[in-house]
Structure 1
Amino acid sequence: MAKKELQDKNSSKKIFVLDTSVILYDHDAVNNFQEHDVAVPVLVLEELDNFKSGNDTRNFEARNFIRLIDQASKNHLINKWFTLKKNSLGKFKVVLDEHPKKINAEKLFGEGKFDNRILNAALALKEENPKRKVILVSKDICLRLKAKSLDLHAEDYETGKIKNADELYTGRTELTDFDSKVIDTLKRGITIETTQLNLPYTDSNHFYILRNKKKSIIAFYDQTAKSLRKVDEGLVFNIQPRNAEQSFAIDALLNPDIKLVTIQGNAGTGKTLLALASALEQRKDFRQIYITRPIVPLSNKDIGFLPGDVKQKIDPYMAPIWDNLRFIREQYANDEKMQFKIDELIRTEKIQIAPLAYIRGRTITKIYFIVDEAQNLTPHEIKTIISRAGEHTKIVFTGDIYQIDTPYLDSESNGLSYLIENAKKHPLYAHITLQKGERSELANLAIELL
């Protein structure tokens, strides 16, 4: 009887087969399947061996996974099932067999391709365990579709994904028929305690547009102080906010009590420009302004083959940031002194633009740190950046979660969405989604109609 119960228990446990894309996304993925068993085709180890050298996050993930398996295996043979952690209910092994007897992916889709060999490893494991559900887990949509066509269950790696990108926290709420007396009080610059106000968001720092007939005001709710105050709509480093959302963004960027800011929005909404202008406005409060963005078209390894020094190698990828700096400088066309100051900040590296990979292992102390195009980062990369923050540092992430250039990331699995969803209730954090494009009417036409 006890033997039968054990067999039933084992048959209810699933076997998840991970491909390379999952491990490069999260090296600890093998520990995230609860009581179920996890297998990795031996070909994945070969691919990870090719990724282990370099400074890119993928290289970091590959090295960490190899170390994790090495430390966990100890005296075990890894082609046999063994427990990764003492308190783990699931087991792990490396699959060597790539020759299923029934359906052969290489014969159907072509020989020699790594993806087809990974499919064969999963199919062989399915034949070896006919009473158990075998599931291929991959960030590669095409690989998942090929698996399903072969009667093999397949799914995306869900850890780090948010539920619905379209319902992602925006950081702002518009209230109509709001108490006109409160609006008048806020207009006089008086901060109001919110214990008697019925505000929908009181567990996070939040921005409000408050209206009552012809009266209106924009305000900020401070989660820590439980108070509401007026948001200033003035210039920041000679850049005028063009709508309430941009004023909200500037307020968060200038607020010394907010140490972590995210700004999400379409192209042309002013994300990077506002972050740069706010950083320059506070240049005396920080040791350095550090600006970076992920380099997507080429890996950091490929950059080494480009001619010139580090600056010359990365400048083509950093051109949009230089464009924004140039635009800010142009706002002082009649002020040679200020133009000289901006040039001096660049020359003395008070403003520094560098690849993201170069910050690994560094502690960022008293720095205004801007990460542009953050939607191209994984949740682990976001965590790595924030974990580098030292005292008196402010970190700003900007990006558009619907414009992703990195393979295996989407609007729900990228690091920016993950951060917005998970940090929204923290007192050191503020977020705003910019929706109205301000680049030009022509640019708006492309966003709205095309």
Structure 2
Amino acid sequence: MTTNAGKFFILDTNILLHDPLAFLNFDEHNVVIPMVVLEELDNIKDRNRDVSREARVAIRSLEEVLKEATPEEIVAGVPLNRVQGEHTANGTLAIFPDYQLEQTESVLSLAENDHRIIQAALEIQRERSPAGVVLVTKDINMRLKAKGAGMKYVDDYRTDQLIDDIRLLTKGFYKFEGDFWSQVGEVQTQQEGRDAYHTVSRELLPQVFANEYIIDSTNNFAARVEEYDSETVTLMDLSVERMMSYGAWGVHPKNIYQAMALHALLDTSMDMVTLTGPAGSGKTFLALSAALQMVVEQGIYEKIIVTRNTPEIAESIGYLPGTEEEKMAPWLSAITDSLEALHKQDESMESSLNYIMKKANIQFKSLNFMRGRSIQNAIVILDEAQNLTASQLKTLITRCGENTKLVVSGNLAQIDSYYLTAVTSGLTYIVERFKDYPGSATINLNGVVRSPLAKFAEEHL
């Protein structure tokens, strides 16, 4: 059996953990998986880790493609067009027997699995020359080592990367320079109760999105996109003065960006609100104050669930003492810090915190244990979302059931994952995917309000 005339893509283990069906996303090209990758998947599949499920799915998917092929066909490449389902794969899938390679002084040591994968890629590059051979890995350091070892082409997995430049990521609002009304021609205004709706030409907002906020640099105008078509855009006038007077659990916005965030957080028609921005911009503080307002004061929801992925991909929480909530406490100190700040003026802060924790039914949950759950009548606050993949975020979003509001917050400048960048983060992915969903809103909190020191550090360090 011969392979297609396309390129050859060698997949690292982390690609299949990131997307178990990644081998179906290379169109007419040929996918090669070194044997050591299968060994790593086998070692991961039975561990008590969040990625163990992805490892099992990847193994089952590979077996489905290769189960009827002979050993010779598996090495040569099995056509992917035999795989059922919605995909455009028309190339081949092969397993490369890297254990047959002899270690020489001219290549990297085989002591590490990464080095075995790189040596396999180098051998395939030699065998398939002059065809293009690309090593695909999300490990930045491995990409550097592979280039240094002689790989001509090394790349990240970009199928779920929706933008090439983080500066292109939608902020959830559009800011007009100068006065908004001076730039508007014909407008139709309709009054419904206390709300005014303005219909303007689409030419004024050619790149408009659902629930996008509109402001101007004079701070005299603020509105939100209600609906639009190819010719017109209808804006709900929010009134800057009214927005700046909003309050939740005693908290009031300090700038127009926080005002837009608080407006979206308190709007029960918004199933998901995504808050991005620098450290100290008020993401967690606003999310928690709005949640307390809607659970304790208004009784719209029954509980608050706070979650995040822990460092080291949240794998070691089981070794910490105590219950799940006690284990999660070190990773959720931002929430407890915000609770303390909200009640620091109380006569007995500790008593107030205990009362609020019970009254609002605040639960700390590990993201690892969210799979399989169905969350009802709750506000879910997902903190530090910049360290999650699109697959991990999908796991949580699909857990949200009836009368549940999801608040996702993160700072794309503080990614701790070895495999993610600002453009490949799951936070970036959902901001782009949900920017035109009528039940969601995104706000980039522009400006640090924590302290002058924090603001200076964010701007100058």
TM-score of the pair, normalised by structure 2:
0.86
Displacement after TM superposition at 1:100 (Å):
5.7
* 1:305 alignment partner in structure 2: 319
| Residue 93 (str. 1) matches residue 99 (str. 2) | no
* 1:228 alignment partner in structure 2: 236
Displacement after TM superposition at 1:278 (Å):
0.6
Residues 123, 145 of structure 1: CA spacing in aligned structure 2 closer, same or farther, 3 A cutoff? Answer: same
Q: Is the 8 A contact 2:79 2:92 kept in 1?
A: yes
| Residue 174 (str. 1) matches residue 171 (str. 2) | no
Unpaired runs of 5+ residues, structure 2, are 84-88
Displacement after TM superposition at 1:114 (Å):
1.2
* 2:86 alignment partner in structure 1: none
Q: Is the 8 A contact 1:189 1:230 kept in 2?
A: no
| Residue 83 (str. 1) matches residue 82 (str. 2) | no
Residues 83, 106 of structure 1: CA spacing in aligned structure 2 closer, same or farther, 3 A cutoff? Answer: farther
Deviations 1:358-411 (A, max 9, x none): 110111122111100000000111111111121111111100011101110010
Residues 37, 202 of structure 1: CA spacing in aligned structure 2 closer, same or farther, 3 A cutoff? Answer: same
Identity of aligned residues (%): 35
Deviations 1:155-191 (A, max 9, x none): 1111112221122101122222322798x999x9532
1:267 partner letter = A
Q: Is the 8 A contact 2:8 2:29 kept in 1?
A: yes
C-alpha distance in structure 1 between counterparts of 2:105 and 2:12, whole Å:
16
Q: Is the 8 A contact 1:57 1:381 kept in 2?
A: no
* 2:449 alignment partner in structure 1: 438
| Residue 216 (str. 1) matches residue 224 (str. 2) | no
2:91 partner letter = G
Residues 110, 202 of structure 1: CA spacing in aligned structure 2 closer, same or farther, 3 A cutoff? Answer: closer
Displacement after TM superposition at 1:242 (Å):
0.4
C-alpha distance in structure 2 between counterparts of 1:377 and 1:196, whole Å:
39
| Residue 10 (str. 1) matches residue 10 (str. 2) | no
Displacement after TM superposition at 1:432 (Å):
0.6
Q: Identify the match of residue 374 of structure 1 among 380, 385, 389.
A: 385
C-alpha distance in structure 2 between counterparts of 1:106 and 1:56, whole Å:
36
For 1:133-148, list aligned pairs within 5 A. 133-148=132-147
Question: Residue 54 of structure 2: SS of its match in structure 1?
Answer: helix
1:318 partner letter = L
1:204 partner letter = A
* 1:399 alignment partner in structure 2: 410
Question: Residue 147 of structure 2: SS of its match in structure 1?
Answer: helix
Q: Is the 8 A contact 1:98 1:118 kept in 2?
A: no
C-alpha distance in structure 2 between counterparts of 1:422 and 1:106, whole Å:
48
Residues 106, 112 of structure 1: CA spacing in aligned structure 2 closer, same or farther, 3 A cutoff? Answer: farther
1:150 partner letter = A
Displacement after TM superposition at 1:248 (Å):
0.4
Residues 106, 368 of structure 1: CA spacing in aligned structure 2 closer, same or farther, 3 A cutoff? Answer: farther
Q: Is the 8 A contact 1:15 1:38 kept in 2?
A: yes
Q: Is the 8 A contact 2:190 2:198 kept in 1?
A: no
Residues 100, 358 of structure 1: CA spacing in aligned structure 2 closer, same or farther, 3 A cutoff? Answer: closer
| Residue 28 (str. 1) matches residue 21 (str. 2) | yes
Displacement after TM superposition at 1:281 (Å):
0.8
Question: Residue 82 of structure 2: SS of its match in structure 1?
Answer: coil
* 1:204 alignment partner in structure 2: 210
Question: Residue 205 of structure 1: SS of its match in structure 2?
Answer: coil
Residues 169, 298 of structure 1: CA spacing in aligned structure 2 closer, same or farther, 3 A cutoff? Answer: closer
Q: Is the 8 A contact 1:22 1:137 kept in 2?
A: yes
Q: How many residues matched? A: 433
C-alpha distance in structure 2 between counterparts of 1:45 and 1:178, whole Å:
59
* 1:279 alignment partner in structure 2: 291
Q: Is the 8 A contact 1:206 1:220 kept in 2?
A: yes
Unpaired runs of 5+ residues, structure 1, are 1-5
Displacement after TM superposition at 1:84 (Å):
3.7
Question: Residue 109 of structure 1: SS of its match in structure 2?
Answer: coil
Displacement after TM superposition at 1:247 (Å):
0.5
Q: Identify the match of residue 270 of structure 1 among 276, 282, 285.
A: 282
Residues 341, 330 of structure 1: CA spacing in aligned structure 2 closer, same or farther, 3 A cutoff? Answer: closer
C-alpha distance in structure 2 between counterparts of 1:95 and 1:73, whole Å:
13
* 2:334 alignment partner in structure 1: 320
* 1:3 alignment partner in structure 2: none
1:243 partner letter = N
* 1:238 alignment partner in structure 2: 250
* 1:121 alignment partner in structure 2: 120
C-alpha distance in structure 1 between counterparts of 2:157 and 2:208, whole Å:
33
Q: CA RMSD in A?
A: 2.8
Range that drifts further, 402-411 or 344-353? 344-353
Question: Residue 10 of structure 1: SS of its match in structure 2?
Answer: coil
Residues 18, 297 of structure 1: CA spacing in aligned structure 2 closer, same or farther, 3 A cutoff? Answer: closer
Q: Is the 8 A contact 2:4 2:92 kept in 1?
A: no
C-alpha distance in structure 1 between counterparts of 2:134 and 2:387, whole Å:
27
C-alpha distance in structure 2 between counterparts of 1:150 and 1:100, whole Å:
16
Question: Residue 354 of structure 1: SS of its match in structure 2?
Answer: strand
Q: Is the 8 A contact 1:292 1:354 kept in 2?
A: yes
Displacement after TM superposition at 1:94 (Å):
1.2
Question: Residue 195 of structure 2: SS of its match in structure 1?
Answer: coil
C-alpha distance in structure 2 between counterparts of 1:350 and 1:95, whole Å:
53
Q: Is the 8 A contact 2:4 2:29 kept in 1?
A: no
TM-score of the pair, normalised by structure 1:
0.88
